[in-house]
Amino acid sequence: AQTVTQSQPEMSVQEAETVTLSCTYDTSESDYYLFWYKQPPSRQMILVIRQEAYKQQNATENRFSVNFQKAAKSFSLKISDSQLGDAAMYFCAYSSGNNDMRFGAGTRLTVKP
């Protein structure tokens, strides 16, 4: 079974600084999808960024980028120029494409002004 591990329950970053959230996963599949979702206090899960395993190039969405290391089964999220609105719970998620979305335990990010 696929598992997703986020080893940082909480992280803190100063506004305008850069922070990296860690995620590792375990799978025997060769094709799969990885996601980072954000859940602010409003509760709605919001997609931050996604990565297809067959793509070597790391995904980037404005201030958000990933470091995808397929051999190491690592998928970290880098947030640049952190903003107060980035404060939320961040979940790393894995999908084999068969609607078996599995989430990590989450990392609570605090942004200090």
Residues lying near other proteins in the complex (CB under 8 A) are found at 33, 35, 37, 42-47, 50, 52, 91, 95, 97-106
Q: How far is the CB of 90 from other proteins (least distance, A)?
A: 11
For every residue of 48-100, DSSP letters joined together read EEEEETT--SPPEETTEEEEEETTTTEEEEEE-S--GGG-EEEEEEEE-SSS-
In angstroms, give the least distance from the CB of 16 to other proteins.
28
CA angle 38, 19, 36 (to 5 degrees): 25
Shortest distance (Å) from residue 100 CB to other proteins: 7
